[in-house]
Amino acid sequence: MAANLKGRHFLKELDFTPAELDDLLSLAFTLKANKRAGVRGRTLEGKNVALIFEKPSTRTRCAFTVACVDEGAHPEYLGKGDIQLGKKESVADTARVLGRMFDGIQFRGFAHATVETLAKHAGVPVWNGLTDAWHPTQLLADVMTVREQFGTLRGVGLAYVGDGRNNVANSLLIGCAMFGMDVRIVSPESLFPEGWLVERAQAVAAQTGGKVTITSDVSAGVRGSHSVYTDVWASMGEEAKIAERIALLKPFKVTVGVMEATGRPEAIFLHCLPCFHNLDTEMSRQNPDICEADDEVFEGSWSRVFDQAENRMHTIKAVMVATLGR
Ligand code: CP
């Protein structure tokens, strides 16, 4: 790959240039092809990787674990309650201790300031596995899935429909603009992305040839888009807001009608997962109106959500190999 990212942290998209993100994506495609061909990498052999999780995770935890093992590293899961982080020991002190023992640190949690503090003090690469502000490893998997489908990202439409100010929306807004995409955030006005973020995305898009649209009109927002993306209506830590969000976001549910409103038979449906799309979960049985996508869409020919989930592993592997690997 062209860019030398050795020793760099991976905290948010804006810390990188579009060319650097593109290099990470190219590396992910190579690693995916290698894995499919049965070619085993050893670029992280002898490395120890700490996986700190304040919040639960299926995809991110498993992606980091499998990626470590694939490349010869040892992953160590440090769950909420397993370590002193922030309670009995400051984040800065924890970072300095872990940095003496581990070669890289993944953090998933609430405050973005926590991952910034870890990065400041650890002395080893720190990777953001999701904070309340950003989800950059998800963004890489998302754009990988879009490129697999359409062969390019430049000018390709991605309409994110739902809560426009959560971490996934933030990362898509900036990240898609960095890849020169036609990114649309479709949400109620009260959930529009923060103004400074929209301005940054527009400035990035002016450089990359991308396009940024923020709208509360679902039909206009998805028209002509190659992809429709949604996420849960209440993020982790927002469970108390579920009833309020259902009332606000019900008109933004991704239905067959929304997919058809793209006007593109080849349009795809994306979701970072987990997704409420039927009553097979405890939470959706308690709140049957919680579903952000129709089951017909999730299970239909539009859906690429499990390609996206698999791509979490290839893209996370690329981030670790690029910043820590030999
Ligand atoms: N998309 C995502 O971050 O999934 P997990 O919460 O399961 O890690």
126, 227: one domain: no
85, 175: one domain: no
Which tens digit of pLDDT belongs to each residue from 200-228? 999 999 999 999 999 999 999 999 999 99
Q: Is residue 3 part of a domain?
A: no
**Arithmetic mean of pLDDT over the chain:** 97
- In the chain, the number of structural domains is 2
Q: pLDDT at position 86, please?
A: 78
- Does the beta carbon of 108 sit less than 6 angstroms from any atom of ligand 1? no
Q: State the average pLDDT over residues 133-151.
A: 98
125, 273: one domain: no
302, 320: one domain: no
184, 291: one domain: yes
Q: How far apart are CA 72 and CA 75, in angstroms?
A: 10
CA dist 249 → 9, 51, 188, 289, 324 (Å): 35, 33, 7, 10, 41
Q: Does residue 185 or residue 241 have the better pLDDT? A: 185
Kindly report the CATH number assigned to the domain that includes residue 40. 3.40.50.1370
Written as one letter, the residue type at 278 is: N
Which tens digit of pLDDT belongs to each residue from 269-324? 999 999 999 999 999 999 999 999 999 999 999 999 999 999 999 999 999 999 99
Question: Which strands sit side by side in the sheet containing 268-271, from one edge to the other?
Answer: 211-215, 182-186, 157-161, 227-230, 268-271
Substitution candidate for ligand 1 out of 140, 273, 276, 311 with most atoms within 8 A of CB? 273
- Tokens representing 122 are 């650890």
pLDDT grade for 28, boundaries at 50, 70 and 90: very high
First to last CA, the chain: 13
Q: Is residue 1 predicted with pLDDT exceeding 70?
A: no
CB burial string 254-286: b at 16+ within 10 A, e below = beeebbebbebeebbbbbbbebbbeeeeeebee
Q: Is residue 231 predicted with pLDDT exceeding 70?
A: yes
CA quadruple 217, 218, 222, 223: dihedral, nearest 10? -60
Written as one letter, the residue type at 200 is: R
Q: Is the peptide bond before 75 cis (omega within 30 degrees of 0)?
A: no
Residue-number span of the structural domain to which 286 is assigned? 136-309
Q: Is residue 208 part of a domain?
A: yes
120, 142: one domain: no
Q: How far apart are CA 211 and CA 177, in angstroms?
A: 7
Q: Is residue 8 part of a domain?
A: no
- Does the beta carbon of 166 sit less than 6 angstroms from any atom of ligand 1? no
Q: pLDDT at position 235, please?
A: 87
Tokens 């971490």 correspond to what residue? 167
190, HSE (Cβ side, Cα atoms, 13 Å): 5
Which tens digit of pLDDT belongs to each residue from 167-190? 999 999 999 999 999 999 999 999
Q: Whose CA is nearest to atom 1 of ligand 1?
A: 272
301, 156: one domain: yes
pLDDT grade for 2, boundaries at 50, 70 and 90: low
Written as one letter, the residue type at 249 is: L
83, 122: one domain: yes
Q: Is residue 89 part of a domain?
A: yes
78, 128: one domain: yes
CA angle 248, 56, 146 (to 5 degrees): 65
Q: Considering the entire predicted model, what is its pTM?
A: 0.97
Q: How far is the CA of 206 from the centre of ligand 1 (A)?
A: 31
224, 81: one domain: no
Hey, is 242 helix, strand or coil? Answer: helix
209, 285: one domain: yes
- Does the beta carbon of 59 sit less than 6 angstroms from any atom of ligand 1? yes
Q: How far apart are CA 23 and CA 323, in angstroms?
A: 12
Q: pLDDT at position 129, please?
A: 98
Q: State how beta strands 104-108 and 48-53 pair.
A: parallel
Active site residue 165: no
CB–CB of 252/246 below 8 Å?
no
Q: How far is the CA of 138 from the centre of ligand 1 (A)?
A: 8
Lowest-confidence region among 8-22, 81-95, 243-257, 288-302: 81-95
Q: Is residue 238 predicted with pLDDT exceeding 90?
A: no
- Does the beta carbon of 286 sit less than 6 angstroms from any atom of ligand 1? no
175, 156: one domain: yes
Rg of the Cα atoms in the chain: 19
